[in-house]
């Protein structure tokens, strides 16, 4: 370093290369100002890069030290085109710093950057844009605007990112450009690269944070990209999405009791990680309850959760605040752990985290209770941290932990840090007021502190005791007496005032002491502090009213002293009180009430946390930290009363699927079977954001009601269609109400019930379904296309039937959807008119995937439904229901015109959960009615049971009907034999289940799966190698094949080489776990774990067959 300080001031960091700079520089000190930097100018003008570099380094060092070097501007700017990259960089630094002051000269450099913007190297383009946009010169605004626009559509994401960064710069330079900039932002928001996402959201927040509409289309993409965005981008995005979610979704805690319900219910999802379970559960809840969590809302929560594990404190904090502001109560708890982890960081981070924790603990105390001890205070913590920890501890105190907390507080009181001791005493006071049980203990402890040697401690205790005593003064006259004695020693004004107030207030409890205290105080009145003086006057007044005999003179003396006090407040008070209490001739009516006025019962003070109500600021923001609105703070909006239209977030399929990362899709795959299982038919799947109540609600309701109305219409078969229609609606309403009431636990049963009732559906059903479908979807072509798919599937199955006659009739016979399509054309006219009467909700435009279901009715809607066949999305669309096989029970010929087919509908059979639901379809192909269809004389293996369907009274000619019966196969593939009777004939029939139908899906997480698999090793594990069939090219096909073979659900899996499935047998509930691990060359390994080895072996066989085809 240089020897003289004056020198180093001038030259800043000249240390690095002193040999050149010395002489000219020292000359600079003596020369006049304009000559000051001659040496540097000389160096900059030289031809040698090393000299230029040296000069630039010195200049930058001067800038860093805050020295003014603006006079060098022309000399420096000349070097902007220098070849040496370091010189160039330093010139940029200089330029950005001084361009604002030397606008004209700065313009000289612009052309260099403009050239840079055209450079083939993306990094040079980016850095040129960066510097150009950093030059704060208004004249170049149009150039900047142009450059930003161009860069926004650059090929390189890095350049686009730089463009996003440039937007706020330009905006702050010239707010007039806002509209144009918003256009650019809109364009960049649609960008799909992670590199750009964070930066553009930052620009959005800076320029147009209120244009929430720009986010809609990109919402899901942002959620899905989030995990791959760089850390700082994550923070901005999360904060923005928090605000967004607050405007777009409903408050998940709007119905607290409802949530408690669900948390109780979550016993099988007790593990925090089982997000899926919760999700599905919440979704199930959604169906039945007035509150429905939007799937997009859920998406946000799910995708941000892993970020709690980030190493970056800011990201963790951002996620924590998101959960705090958005998550249902039951889920907020997961953030506690992460926040406690942050507390080990540096004291500044600790300070911020503790501030937020303090706010959170007020609202959700339970969350941090397990971490109570992490908030214990060390003597080496800085004071502000100590006080915050104390705040948190106080907030966490409750009946169960108060004793530990008080013990802890006791050690704090002995601390050397007096501010902290005072805060501890206050904290004890707050605990005492909040928790009645410990009030006496606390009071005793505080009274002991009164004999402390430190005056501050005593004073603080007095103040706190005063507050506590106000709650129950009667019992504590001893303490008051004790405190009265203290007044001789305590000098702290606040404490003295508190004691005096106490004595005055409760002078009736200490009648002997009070006048004596007043006497003492009267003596010292003139030397007291103002607050003490006021309290002396108060005491005097109160004593005068209660005990005027002893204190009349004293009071007058005090009032006289006060009358001549220097403080006008005290003079006024004295005058006022004298008028009030001393009866004179003139004194008005008021003096009669003086006693009431002074000795009215005063409400005890409420000791509140200073952090109360701070949560209206977004947590983690500076405003929250300061508890005041900081500049640029975006208000966190309140939840809306009703959710705005969620369909705005829908994007065209290709977009959506492209940006969905693989793992997300996997997760969804899991949700899906759940839906289709519990909800039976209509599976609003995946992002059936369905805007939930309206969309999917109506969808499923109409579906189930449709089937439900089947039984109804049995009796009212003669009714006209429109009547039916009305009835339908009515039923729907009823059902909805009913649904609201029922607990979310029952959705599965419920839908099964409706399912069962659908068994007695009559022929009108088909038409109705069509109607519903029409009204709901308004897109026939879609439903038709999916139906035709179904049709072709059947055809292949029933190839054996070559009879063309049968063919013709087959459509109505075999399945509902084909029938619909047939009837559709017939009834079209009528339907059209009926359509107008409908007040069904318009179809959800959103549900990107809607499976067409056997029982049909699935109200597939618009274009997005087409994604059913979309290969990208296909994996998510596998619904077991879509792949149901039909089996023949009675051939048309053997049945003398009565054809009976059955299938395993894979719905839970609600009357008896141990039974497999079998759906039977009767078709009357004769010309006359068939009557009294029923089951007779079942001959069953031991243990097997049948629950028959209700007798079908009449089946008209050419019509068909579907019923559901339950059979308990006792987990064996033995056939169930029985007689099928009509009013004229008996037919022998037998139903033999494929092994795959003896199970029902269960939902496991990957961890649970592994755990369970670990239990089912050895004999219970059957493993086979196989070669995959030619068509089993991808995961999707495998999943499809397996789920078609067996009624299992997919288990999420981290690796893409493995597919896992889980289910349990219907009657005994034994777990069935299937793993298909694919290897190179189309080989694969199939593993089945099941306690029932027979089932396992058979299942292996079936799946192998299915996969090797």
Residues from 37 through 66 that contact another protein (CB under 8 A): 49-50, 53, 57, 60-61, 63-66
Answer yes or no whether residue 1109 interacts with another protein by CB under 8 A. Answer: no
- Cα 220 from Cα 232, distance rounded (Å): 19
Q: Which stretch binds another protein (CB under 8 A): 249-257, 623-631, 797-805, 917-925?
A: 623-631
Answer yes or no whether residue 306 interacts with another protein by CB under 8 A. Answer: yes
Answer yes or no whether residue 178 interacts with another protein by CB under 8 A. Answer: no
Q: Which stretch binds another protein (CB under 8 A): 244-252, 261-269, 310-318, 544-552?
A: 310-318
> Which of 167/1084 has CB closer to another protein?
167
Residue in this structure with the two tokens 């229901």, named with its chain if needed:
881
Question: In whole angstroms, how close is the CB of 1007 to another protein at the nearest point?
Answer: 7
Terminal C-alpha separation, the chain: 82
Answer yes or no whether residue 89 interacts with another protein by CB under 8 A. Answer: yes
Q: Which stretch binds another protein (CB under 8 A): 152-160, 248-256, 425-433, 932-940?
A: 152-160
CB atoms within 10 A of CB 546: 18
Restricting to residues 317-346, name those near another protein by CB under 8 A: 317-318, 337-338, 340-341, 344-346
- Cα 1100 from Cα 1109, distance rounded (Å): 14
Question: In whole angstroms, how close is the CB of 127 to another protein at the nearest point?
Answer: 8
Restricting to residues 819-858, name those near another protein by CB under 8 A: none
- Cα 1094 from Cα 717, distance rounded (Å): 47
- Cα 723 from Cα 742, distance rounded (Å): 28
- Name the token pair of 960: 């068909």
Strand partners, 1059: 1076
Torsion of the alpha carbons at 704, 709, 711 and 716, rounded to the nearest 10:
-170
Answer yes or no whether residue 758 interacts with another protein by CB under 8 A. Answer: no
> Which of 625/1044 has CB closer to another protein?
625
Restricting to residues 418-477, name those near another protein by CB under 8 A: 452-454
> Which of 70/472 has CB closer to another protein?
70
> Which of 408/728 has CB closer to another protein?
408
> Which of 228/726 has CB closer to another protein?
228
Q: Which stretch binds another protein (CB under 8 A): 120-128, 567-575, 705-713, 927-935?
A: 120-128
Please, what's the b/e burial string for 171-203 (b: 16 or more CB within 10 A of its CB; e: otherwise)? Answer: bebeeebeeebbebbbebbebeebbbbbbbbbb
- Cα 869 from Cα 708, distance rounded (Å): 30
Question: In whole angstroms, how close is the CB of 1039 to another protein at the nearest point?
Answer: 18
- Cα 827 from Cα 175, distance rounded (Å): 62
- Cα 846 from Cα 869, distance rounded (Å): 17
Closest of 122, 121, 175, 170 to residue 146, by C-alpha: 170
Length of the chain counted residue by residue? 1109
Question: In whole angstroms, how close is the CB of 430 to another protein at the nearest point?
Answer: 22
Restricting to residues 130-149, name those near another protein by CB under 8 A: 130, 134, 136
Answer yes or no whether residue 157 interacts with another protein by CB under 8 A. Answer: yes
Closest of 963, 1045, 1049 to residue 1000, by C-alpha: 1049
- Name the token pair of 766: 């088909």
Q: Which of 236, 859, 866, 886 binds another protein (CB under 8 A)?
A: 236
- Name the token pair of 879: 């619904």
Restricting to residues 200-219, name those near another protein by CB under 8 A: 202, 205-206
Question: In whole angstroms, how close is the CB of 418 to another protein at the nearest point?
Answer: 10
- Site size toward another protein (CB under 8 A) is 111
Question: In whole angstroms, how close is the CB of 221 to another protein at the nearest point?
Answer: 17
Closest of 273, 328, 274 to residue 298, by C-alpha: 328
> Which of 1018/1054 has CB closer to another protein?
1054
- Cα 420 from Cα 426, distance rounded (Å): 10
- By three-state DSSP, how is residue 1062 classified? strand
Question: In whole angstroms, how close is the CB of 856 to another protein at the nearest point?
Answer: 37
Answer yes or no whether residue 312 interacts with another protein by CB under 8 A. Answer: yes
Answer yes or no whether residue 955 interacts with another protein by CB under 8 A. Answer: no
Restricting to residues 1045-1084, name those near another protein by CB under 8 A: 1052-1054
Question: In whole angstroms, how close is the CB of 249 to another protein at the nearest point?
Answer: 22
Instruction: Lay out the site mask for another protein across 1012-1051 (x = CB under 8 A, - = otherwise).
Output: ----------------------------------------
List all residues 6 or more positions away from 596 whose beta carbon is below 8 Å from its beta carbon. none
CA angle 806, 955, 827 (to 5 degrees): 70
- Cα 914 from Cα 899, distance rounded (Å): 28
Restricting to residues 478-507, name those near another protein by CB under 8 A: none
Residue in this structure with the two tokens 């087409």, named with its chain if needed:
866
Answer yes or no whether residue 376 interacts with another protein by CB under 8 A. Answer: yes
Q: Which of 316, 335, 390, 1016 binds another protein (CB under 8 A)?
A: 316
Instruction: Lay out the site mask for another protein across 7-26 (x = CB under 8 A, - = otherwise).
Output: -----xx-xx----------
Task: Determine contact, residues 25/11, Cβ cutoff 8 Å.
Answer: yes
């Amino acid at each position: 370093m240089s020897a003289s300080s004056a020198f180093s001031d001038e030259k800043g960091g000249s240390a690095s290369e002193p040999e050149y700079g010395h002489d000219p520089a020292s000359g600079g000190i003596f020369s006049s100002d304009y000559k000051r930097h001659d040496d540097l100018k000389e160096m900059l003008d030289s031809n040698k890069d090393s000299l230029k570099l040296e000069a630039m380094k010195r200049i930058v060092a001067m800038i860093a030290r805050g020295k003014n070097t603006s006079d060098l501007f022309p000399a420096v700017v000349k070097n902007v085109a220098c070849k040496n990259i370091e010189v160039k960089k330093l010139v940029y630094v200089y330029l950005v710093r001084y361009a604002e002051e030397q606008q004209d000269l700065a313009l000289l450099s612009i052309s260099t950057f403009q050239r840079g913007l055209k450079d083939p190297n993306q990094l040079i383009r980016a850095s040129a844009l960066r510097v150009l946009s950093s030059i704060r010169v208004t004249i170049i605004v149009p150039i900047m605007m142009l450059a930003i626009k161009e860069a926004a559509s650059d090929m390189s994401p890095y350049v686009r990112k730089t463009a996003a960064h440039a937007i706020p710069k330009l905006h702050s330079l010239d707010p007039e450009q806002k509209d144009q900039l918003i256009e650019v932002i809109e364009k960049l928001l649609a960008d799909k690269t992670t590199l750009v996402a964070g930066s553009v959201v930052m620009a959005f927040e800076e320029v147009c944070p209120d244009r929430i509409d720009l986010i809609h289309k990109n919402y899901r993409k942002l959620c899905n990209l989030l995990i791959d965005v760089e850390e700082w981008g994550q923070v901005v995005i999360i904060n923005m999405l928090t605000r967004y979610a607050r405007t777009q979704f409903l408050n998940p805690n709007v119905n607290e009791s409802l949530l408690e319900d669900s948390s109780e219910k979550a016993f099988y999802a007790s593990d925090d990680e089982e997000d899926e379970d919760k999700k599905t559960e919440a979704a199930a809840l959604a169906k039945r309850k007035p509150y429905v969590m939007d799937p997009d809302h859920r998406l946000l929560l799910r995708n941000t959760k892993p970020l709690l594990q980030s190493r970056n404190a800011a990201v963790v904090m951002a996620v924590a605040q998101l959960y705090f502001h958005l998550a249902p109560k039951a889920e907020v708890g997961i953030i506690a752990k992460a926040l406690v982890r942050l507390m080990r960081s540096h004291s500044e981070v600790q300070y911020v985290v503790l501030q937020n924790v303090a706010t959170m603990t007020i609202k959700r105390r339970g969350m941090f209770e397990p971490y109570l001890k992490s908030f214990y205070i060390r003597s080496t913590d800085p004071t502000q941290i100590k006080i915050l920890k104390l705040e948190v501890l106080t907030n966490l105190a409750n009946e169960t932990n108060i004793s530990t907390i008080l013990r802890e507080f006791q050690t704090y009181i002995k601390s050397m840090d007096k501010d902290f001791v005072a805060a501890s005493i206050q904290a004890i006071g707050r605990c005492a007021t909040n928790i009645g049980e410990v009030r006496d203990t606390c009071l005793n402890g505080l009274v002991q502190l009164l004999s402390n040697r430190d005056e501050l401690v005593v004073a603080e205790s007095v103040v706190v005791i005063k507050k506590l005593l106000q709650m129950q003064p009667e019992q504590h006259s001893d303490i008051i007496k004790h405190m009265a004695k203290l007044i001789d020693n305590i000098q702290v004004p606040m404490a003295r005032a508190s004691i005096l107030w106490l004595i005055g207030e409760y002078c009736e409890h200490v009648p002997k002491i009070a006048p004596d205290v007043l006497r003492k105080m009267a003596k010292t009145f003139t030397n007291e502090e103002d607050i003490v003086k006021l309290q002396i006057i108060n005491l005097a007044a109160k004593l005068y009213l209660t005990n005027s005999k002893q204190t009349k003179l004293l009071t007058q003396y005090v009032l006289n002293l006060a009358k001549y006090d220097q403080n006008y407040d005290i003079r006024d008070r004295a005058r006022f009180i004298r008028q009030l209490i001393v009866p004179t001739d003139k004194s008005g009516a008021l003096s009669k009430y003086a006693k009431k006025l002074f000795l009215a019962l005063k409400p005890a003070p409420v000791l509140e946390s200073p952090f109360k109500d701070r949560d209206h600021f977004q947590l983690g923001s500076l405003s929250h930290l300061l508890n005041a609105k900081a500049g640029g703070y975006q208000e966190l909006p309140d939840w809306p009363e009703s959710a705005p239209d969620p369909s705005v977030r829908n994007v065209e399929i290709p977009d959506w699927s492209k940006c969905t990362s693989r793992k997300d899709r996997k997760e969804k795959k899991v949700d899906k079977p759940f839906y289709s299982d519990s909800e039976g038919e209509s599976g609003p799947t995946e992002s059936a954001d369905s805007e939930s109540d309206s969309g999917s609600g109506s969808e499923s309701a109409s579906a189930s009601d449709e089937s439900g109305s089947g039984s109804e219409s049995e009796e009212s078969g003669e009714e006209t269609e429109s009547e039916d229609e009305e009835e339908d609606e009515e039923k729907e309403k009823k059902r909805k109400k009913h649904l609201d009431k029922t607990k979310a636990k029952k959705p599965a049963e419920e839908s099964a019930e409706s399912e069962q009732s659908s068994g007695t559906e009559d022929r009108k059903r088909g038409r109705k379904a069509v109607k519903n479908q029409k009204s709901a979807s308004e897109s026939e072509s879609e439903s038709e296309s999916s139906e035709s798919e179904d049709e072709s599937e059947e055809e292949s199955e029933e190839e054996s039937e070559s009879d063309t006659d049968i063919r013709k009739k087959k459509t109505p016979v075999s399945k509902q959807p084909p029938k619909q399509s047939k009837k559709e054309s017939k009834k079209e006219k009528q339907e059209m008119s009926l359509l107008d009467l409908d007040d069904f909700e318009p179809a959800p435009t959103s549900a990107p995937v809607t499976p067409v279901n056997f029982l049909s009715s699935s109200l597939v809607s618009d274009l997005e439904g087409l994604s059913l066949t979309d290969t990208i999305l296909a994996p998510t669309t596998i619904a077991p229901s879509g792949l149901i096989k039909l089996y023949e029970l009675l051939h048309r010929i053997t049945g003398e015109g009565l054809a009976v087919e059955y299938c395993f509908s894979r719905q839970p059979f609600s009357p008896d959960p141990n039974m497999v639901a079998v759906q039977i379809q009767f078709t009357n192909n004769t010309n006359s009615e068939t009557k009294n269809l029923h089951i007779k004389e079942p001959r069953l293996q031991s243990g097997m049971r049948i629950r028959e369907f209700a007798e079908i009274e009449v089946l008209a000619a050419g019509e068909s009907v579907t019923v559901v019966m339950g059979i308990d196969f006792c987990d064996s593939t033995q056939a169930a034999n029985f007689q099928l009777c009509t009013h004229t004939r008996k037919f022998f029939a037998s139903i033999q289940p494929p092994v795959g139908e003896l199970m029902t899906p269960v939902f496991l997480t990957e961890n649970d799966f592994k755990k369970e698999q670990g239990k089912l090793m050895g004999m219970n594990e059957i493993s086979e190698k196989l070669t995959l069939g030619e068509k089993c090219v991808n995961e999707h096909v495998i999943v499809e094949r397996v789920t078609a073979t067996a009624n299992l659900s997919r288990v999420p899996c981290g690796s893409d080489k493995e597919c896992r499935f889980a289910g349990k047998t219907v009657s005994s509930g034994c777990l069935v776990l299937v793993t298909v691990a694919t290897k190179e060359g189309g080989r694969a390994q199939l593993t089945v774990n099941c306690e029932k080895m027979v089932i396992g072996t058979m299942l292996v066989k079936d799946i192998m067959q299915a996969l090797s085809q």
